[in-house]
Structure 1
């Protein structure tokens, strides 16, 4: 009963505040400024096509997933990354990670080419993946570009800063590097195992980020209060729980 009363009072106060704001804008006339709240771009429809994402996928709060995009279970789109399926479709497999500021797009002007990415793929930060196909178990290094019509076959690595030019094929089990990218050598069995390990570890890390990003304001405030209490306890010299650092093994090596 008391709760319902507080809710009614809260709604009344909010309504009164909104009325005051509208009155102020009206009185200011042409001198008024209205601040618009931009909606989230985590999941944006385009021309009637809406992204399809498995429940377990992590999409960062400031990532943009637009149009006809399908993202598989356990996959993640990290901070500042953009997947734009507006003129064709994008398909991302399972446990694939699109890291910070990477861009994935498609083509439908000169050629009709979607973008297809397989399972257990790690796409490095600031990479550009454009109208191409990437097989499963691949690493696309930081700042690389995979251009229209090219194919990166499974169990392959494209080194950081490389450009795989139009229509090129990176054969399975190979390392390519350079601008334009060229064949360097075959991958070792250890490197092939690391590709999948890296993708799985990023998938696990994405669950932690998803949990943090989904916290409510009340949960954040409660954690801050708990942290403050622990700091105060520390001032009295009481022992705190020892932090154990764990080696994640998450790094690129070529």
Structure 2
């Protein structure tokens, strides 16, 4: 599996001690409630709503451009309660997706332009195709592929090596996401 180099403007990204690469053009609301476990990429124009509830993102997870991560909520007679959003390790979330899940397991691929409904649960090693809408409170089982609007389960299961594939994909993406400098262009 080969992933091309992605270059970014080093002036537009903050690199933390734990190796997180966070765009200055992203919006992190309630940053004290946002935990990035290390080597996470948050690209331009992404919004993370830590002001509503805690958001925790695992290692080597990729948050592409224009993604919205919003903790889920539930309406009660006396108001609204927000719940934490947990995202596992080695997760890839494609451009323009809106995530309102309660939990996304590890080794999950979410395509471009997806909507993950309120309090949905995506277990480890699942695949959400581009342009998919997952209804609220849906549980996506491990090694399953969903696609469509509304989402339909694909009859074919993902291979048992999905964990390895997603680990390799997110590590390659992270290591090939490099600053656009004269030195990097010459290599």
Report if TM-score (shorter chain) is over 0.5. Answer: yes
Preserved contact between residue 113 and residue 131 of structure 1 (Cα < 8 Å): no
Preserved contact between residue 173 and residue 192 of structure 1 (Cα < 8 Å): no
* Compared CA separation, residues 108 and 149, structure 1 to 2 (3 A): closer
Q: 2:166 aligns with which of 181, 192, 195?
A: 195
Partner of residue 76, structure 1: 41
RMSD over equivalenced CA pairs, Å: 2.3
Once the two structures are overlaid, the 10-residue window that deviates more, 101-110 or 148-157, is 101-110
Greater share of residues in helix: 1
Partner of residue 152, structure 1: 122
Query: How many residues are treated as equivalent by the alignment?
Result: 164
Structure 1 gaps, min length 5: 1-41, 44-52, 213-219, 227-242, 245-254
Q: 1:135 aligns with which of 77, 94, 105?
A: 105
Residue 99 of structure 1 pairs with residue 64 of structure 2: yes
Partner of residue 172, structure 1: 142
Q: What is the rounded CA distance, in whole Å, between the counterparts of 1:70 and 1:190 in structure 2?
A: 28
Deviation at 1:112, TM superposition (A): 3.1
Greater share of residues in strand: 2
Large movers: runs of 4+ above 3 Å:
189-193
Q: What is the rounded CA distance, in whole Å, between the counterparts of 2:158 and 2:124 in structure 1?
A: 12
Q: What is the rounded CA distance, in whole Å, between the counterparts of 2:145 and 2:171 in structure 1?
A: 21
TM-score by length of 1: 0.59
Q: Which structure has the bigger radius of gyration?
A: 1
* Compared CA separation, residues 137 and 191, structure 1 to 2 (3 A): closer
Q: What does the per-residue CA deviation read over 1:92-122, in whole Å, with 9 as the maximum and x for residues that have no partner?
A: 0111010111110113451432211000000
Deviation at 1:63, TM superposition (A): 1.2
Q: What does the per-residue CA deviation read over 1:145-183, in whole Å, with 9 as the maximum and x for residues that have no partner?
A: 111111110011000110111100000111111111121
TM-score by length of 2: 0.79
Deviation at 1:191, TM superposition (A): 4.8
Q: What does the per-residue CA deviation read over 1:12-58, in whole Å, with 9 as the maximum and x for residues that have no partner?
A: xxxxxxxxxxxxxxxxxxxxxxxxxxxxxx89xxxxxxxxx753100
| RCO higher in structure (CA 8 A, sep ≥6) | 2
- In structure 2, the residue corresponding to 1:65 is in which secondary structure? strand
Q: 1:162 aligns with which of 132, 149, 157?
A: 132
Deviation at 1:200, TM superposition (A): 0.9
- In structure 1, the residue corresponding to 2:167 is in which secondary structure? helix
Partner of residue 117, structure 1: 87
Preserved contact between residue 174 and residue 183 of structure 1 (Cα < 8 Å): yes
- In structure 2, the residue corresponding to 1:100 is in which secondary structure? coil
- In structure 1, the residue corresponding to 2:52 is in which secondary structure? strand
